[in-house]
């Protein structure tokens, strides 16, 4: 039996993939190796998780050393060094105004962020954004709107959640003047607060500073600044979900540092543990200080091995020049994407920051999302041993998320394959 057939007999359909899905046995740097001897260039990075590629020697060495020392202690009952040291370094690198709490997954961190906001403000309402992805637990699925499939059959969900429009300017239904963010994205809050929920009821506005699953949507800075000011005006906490955009992906430790907008609370997961499960909720100290004993917790959060691996990732980001590399390579990626856009009219938009970039496939005649073509390009790329991922509700964007230490030669190799794959997909 193939692995595909074995998994089919063991797991529900939602855990299944296509028959052609590679079965990987090893990862090294930017490459994955399959059981049938293929070497695949990985531009998915475990969905933006392997910040330093596969099995980075420093991450492996740090985790291995920790495995021989202390595997689990339980932060609910004990203290241990990598946990405390990692917290110190993260707080220092984010400006010293925050405190943090470690968990395991992105969804768990977002649950924690919402619980913290409700706890600290004693207000019931959460406002989330349309087209957002925040996770798959009940509360995080409630604030997720990037695809109805994530919510189907789970109603009723968490109460007192309302939604605002996130400016996806490439697909805006509103009038854009001089490329500026349409006024409707600002005025919507007046309507929301006047007609649906008074701002004094709102604990938090939660958003991804750059939407991930929703299509790698970069919002206009003036809108982010406006939401920040609105939150200040009404004492609403601004939560940034940095699960995908964080830990170096945009060229700084967190996207809010790249954008220059400080959230009250933010969450981190995916890349933080260098491939091991780890997440964190950060909150301004005065907010965190309200989170009393027993108000939140968990068994595995801040596992020593994950924390040791995270410390090795931090060292590479800051002292190994990886953040700088990410900024440089990001410029190259955007240049190459623009070149492809010039060549192929089916690429309607290219966008991104650092090494969080995407190309949007369209039908040139009316700009409609072209998910079928995007999927064909991904299939052609995999035939040529390049792993790519889509995003967006119509699955018509290719996200390019290589490891942050990728070099120019590897980018060139990937773009050569992408070019050939688009040509092949268009032919078929
Ligand atoms: C922005 C964002 N938030 C939350 C999550 C959920 O993280 P996890 O799958 O670790 O629960 C993801 C995962 O893709 C994400 O991209």
CATH classification at residue 100:
3.40.640.10
DSSP 148: G
Asked if 314 and 339 sit in the same domain, the reply is: no
Q: Which of 319, 338, 368 is the last residue of a domain?
A: 319
Which atom of ligand 1 is found nearest the CA of 208? 1
3-state secondary structure 161-204: EEEECCCCHHHCCCCCCCCCCCCHHHHHHHHHHHHHCCHHHEEE
Ligand 1, atom 10, residue with closest C-alpha: 106
The number of folded domains in the chain is 2
Confirm if 127 and 90 have CB atoms less than 8 A apart. Answer: no
Q: What pLDDT score was predicted for residue 164?
A: 98
Spatial distance between the Cα atoms of 53 and 41, rounded to a whole number of angstroms = 11
Which among 47, 103, 240, 243 is the best mutation to test ligand 1's pocket, defined by most ligand atoms within 8 Å of the CB? 243
Asked if 93 and 11 sit in the same domain, the reply is: no
Spatial distance between the Cα atoms of 310 and 128, rounded to a whole number of angstroms = 29
Distance, first Cα to last Cα, the chain: 31
Confirm if 164 and 131 have CB atoms less than 8 A apart. Answer: no
- Can you give the pLDDT of all 428 residues of the chain as single tens digits? 999 999 999 999 999 999 989 999 999 999 999 999 999 999 999 999 999 999 999 999 999 999 999 999 999 999 999 999 999 999 999 999 999 999 999 999 999 999 999 999 999 999 999 999 999 999 999 999 999 999 999 999 999 999 999 999 999 999 999 889 999 999 999 999 999 999 999 999 999 999 999 999 999 999 999 999 999 999 999 999 999 999 999 999 999 999 999 999 999 999 999 999 999 999 999 999 999 999 999 999 999 999 999 999 999 999 999 999 999 999 999 999 999 999 999 999 999 999 999 999 999 999 999 999 999 999 999 999 999 999 999 999 999 999 999 999 999 999 999 999 999 999 98
Which atom of ligand 1 is found nearest the CA of 132? 1
Q: Which of 319, 354, 387 is the last residue of a domain?
A: 319
Q: Compute, in angstroms, the gap from residue 353 CA to the centroid of ligand 1.
A: 18
Q: Which of 286, 319, 352 is the last residue of a domain?
A: 319
Q: Compute, in angstroms, the gap from residue 193 CA to the centroid of ligand 1.
A: 28
Asked if 201 and 347 sit in the same domain, the reply is: no
CATH number at residue 374: 3.90.1150.10
Q: Compute, in angstroms, the gap from residue 392 CA to the centroid of ligand 1.
A: 14
Which residues lie closer than 8 Å to 372 by C-beta, 6 or more apart?
none
Q: Compute, in angstroms, the gap from residue 356 CA to the centroid of ligand 1.
A: 15
What backbone torsions phi and psi does residue 164 show, to the nearest 5 degrees? -120, 160
Of 338, 303, 312, 268, nearest in space to 405 by CA: 312
Asked if 207 and 97 sit in the same domain, the reply is: yes
Angle at 254 between CA 248 and CA 260, to 5 degrees: 130
Q: What pLDDT score was predicted for residue 179?
A: 86
Which atom of ligand 1 is found nearest the CA of 136? 11
Asked if 231 and 156 sit in the same domain, the reply is: yes
Which residues are near ligand 1 (CB < 6 Å)? 47, 105-107, 110, 133-135, 208, 212-213, 241, 243-244, 269
Spatial distance between the Cα atoms of 428 and 424, rounded to a whole number of angstroms = 6
Asked if 345 and 357 sit in the same domain, the reply is: yes
Q: Compute, in angstroms, the gap from residue 241 CA to the centroid of ligand 1.
A: 9
**Which residues span the domain enclosing 198?**
59-319
Asked if 283 and 201 sit in the same domain, the reply is: yes
Asked if 284 and 334 sit in the same domain, the reply is: no
- In this structure, how many other beta carbons lie within 10 angstroms of the beta carbon of residue 34? 15
Q: Compute, in angstroms, the gap from residue 363 CA to the centroid of ligand 1.
A: 30
Ligand 1, atom 16, residue with closest C-alpha: 244
Asked if 18 and 81 sit in the same domain, the reply is: no
Spatial distance between the Cα atoms of 329 and 340, rounded to a whole number of angstroms = 17
Spatial distance between the Cα atoms of 3 and 27, rounded to a whole number of angstroms = 18
Give the containing element (helix H, strand E) for 26.
Answer: strand 24-28
Which atom of ligand 1 is found nearest the CA of 107? 11
Which atom of ligand 1 is found nearest the CA of 279? 10
Strand partners, 362: 369
SS3 assignment, position 366? coil
- Within 13 Å, how many C-alpha atoms sit on residue 212's CB side? 26
Spatial distance between the Cα atoms of 218 and 17, rounded to a whole number of angstroms = 29
Identify the residue whose tokens are 């996207």.
255
Asked if 210 and 335 sit in the same domain, the reply is: no
Dihedral angle over CA of 166, 170, 174, 180, nearest 10: 90
Ligand 1, atom 8, residue with closest C-alpha: 106
Q: What pLDDT score was predicted for residue 54?
A: 98
Report CA torsion sign: 320, 258, 243, 41. negative
Q: Compute, in angstroms, the gap from residue 107 CA to the centroid of ligand 1.
A: 6
Confirm if 52 and 311 have CB atoms less than 8 A apart. Answer: no
- In this structure, how many other beta carbons lie within 10 angstroms of the beta carbon of residue 1? 8
Ligand 1, atom 3, residue with closest C-alpha: 134
Asked if 8 and 29 sit in the same domain, the reply is: yes
Longest Cα pair distance anywhere in the chain, in angstroms? 62
Asked if 350 and 284 sit in the same domain, the reply is: no
Q: Compute, in angstroms, the gap from residue 245 CA to the centroid of ligand 1.
A: 10
Ligand 1, atom 4, residue with closest C-alpha: 134
What backbone torsions phi and psi does residue 205 show, to the nearest 5 degrees? -105, 125
Q: What pLDDT score was predicted for residue 115?
A: 98
Which atom of ligand 1 is found nearest the CA of 140? 4
Q: Compute, in angstroms, the gap from residue 1 CA to the centroid of ligand 1.
A: 32
Q: Compute, in angstroms, the gap from residue 277 CA to the centroid of ligand 1.
A: 12
């Amino acid at each position: 039996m193939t692995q595909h057939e074995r998994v089919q007999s063991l797991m529900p359909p939602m855990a299944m993939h296509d028959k052609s899905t590679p079965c990987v046995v090893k990862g090294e740097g930017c490459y994955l190796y399959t059981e049938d001897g293929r070497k695949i260039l990985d531009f998915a990075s475990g969905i933006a998780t392997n910040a330093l590629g596969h099995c980075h020697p420093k991450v492996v060495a740090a985790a291995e050393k920790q495995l021989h020392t202390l595997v689990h202690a339980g932060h609910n009952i004990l203290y241990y060094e990598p946990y405390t040291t990692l917290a110190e370094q993260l707080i220092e690198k984010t400006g010293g105004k925050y405190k943090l709490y470690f968990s395991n997954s992105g969804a768990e961190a977002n649950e924690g962020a919402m619980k913290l906001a409700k706890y600290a403000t004693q207000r019931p309402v959460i406002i989330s954004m349309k087209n957002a992805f925040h996770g798959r637990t009940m509360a995080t699925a409630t604030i997720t709107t990037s695809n109805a499939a994530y919510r189907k059959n789970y109603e009723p969900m968490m109460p007192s959640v309302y939604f605002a429009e996130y400016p996806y300017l490439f697909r805006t239904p509103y009038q854009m003047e001089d490329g500026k963010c349409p006024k409707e994205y600002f005025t919507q809050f007046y309507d929301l607060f006047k007609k649906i929920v008074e701002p004094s009821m709102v604990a938090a506005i939660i958003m991804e500073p750059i939407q991930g699953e929703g299509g790698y949507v970069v919002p206009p800075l003036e809108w982010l600044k406006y939401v920040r000011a609105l939150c200040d005006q009404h004492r609403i906490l601004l939560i940034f979900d940095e699960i995908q955009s964080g830990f170096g992906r945009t060229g700084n430790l967190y996207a809010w540092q790249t954008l220059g907008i400080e959230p009250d609370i933010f969450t981190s997961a995916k890349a933080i543990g260098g491939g091991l499960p780890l997440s964190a909720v950060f909150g301004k100290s005065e907010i965190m200080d309200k989170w009393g004993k027993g108000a939140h917790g968990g068994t595995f959060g801040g596992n020593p091995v994950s924390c040791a691996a995270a410390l090795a990732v931090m060292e590479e980001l800051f002292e190994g020049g990886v953040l700088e590399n990410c900024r440089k390579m990001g410029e190259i990626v955007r240049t190459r994407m623009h070149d492809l856009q010039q060549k192929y009219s089916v690429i309607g938009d290219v966008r991104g920051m650092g090494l969080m970039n995407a190309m949007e496939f369209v039908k040139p005649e009316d700009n409609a999302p072209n998910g079928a073509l995007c999927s064909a390009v991904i299939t052609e790329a995999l035939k040529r041993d390049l792993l790519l991922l889509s995003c967006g509700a119509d699955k018509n964007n290719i996200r390019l998320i290589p490891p942050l230490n990728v070099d120019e030669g590897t980018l060139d190799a990937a773009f050569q394959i992408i070019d050939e794959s688009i040509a092949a997909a268009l032919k078929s």
